[in-house]
């Protein structure tokens, strides 16, 4: 999963399901191979109901994955489009703040 400038494309039309999955283009935001270590990549994968695809939006804006105990993280605070997203220890820093779509 890479970070890009907002452009309104179909790939950027995210939904949040009541089951805790974050979805786009018929796929779910997924921790690759159910990883649990800092730096594990995040991608878009076929929705399968595993813990690697469950996210909890925290009061500080973080997306927390309970299975890994980590948060969705913008690698190295990147500002360049195409930066690979990962999981990392939750820090409360701006590179872990995400705004979910409203319904």
pLDDT tens across 8-47, in order?
Answer: 777 678 889 999 999 988 999 999 999 999 999 999 999 9
> What domains are there in the chain, each with its CATH number?
2-91 (2.80.10.50)
Q: How far apart, in Å, are the Cα atoms of 94 and each of 26, 60, 61, 91, 98?
A: 28, 9, 9, 9, 9
Residue written as tokens 């790939």?
Answer: 11
Quote the mean pLDDT of the chain: 89
The confidence score (pLDDT) of residue 101 equals 79
pLDDT at 100: 84
pTM for this structure? 0.86
């Amino acid at each position: 999963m890479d970070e890009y400038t907002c452009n309104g494309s179909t790939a950027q039309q995210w939904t949040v399901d009541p089951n805790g999955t974050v979805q786009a283009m018929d796929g779910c935001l997924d921790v690759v191979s159910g990883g649990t270590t800092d730096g594990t990549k995040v991608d878009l994968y076929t929705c399968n109901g595993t813990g690697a695809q469950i996210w909890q939006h925290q009061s500080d804006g973080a997306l927390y994955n309970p299975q890994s105990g980590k948060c969705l993280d913008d690698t190295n605070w990147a500002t360049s489009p195409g930066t690979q997203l990962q999981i990392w220890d939750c820090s409360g820093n701006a590179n872990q703040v995400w705004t979910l779509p409203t319904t």
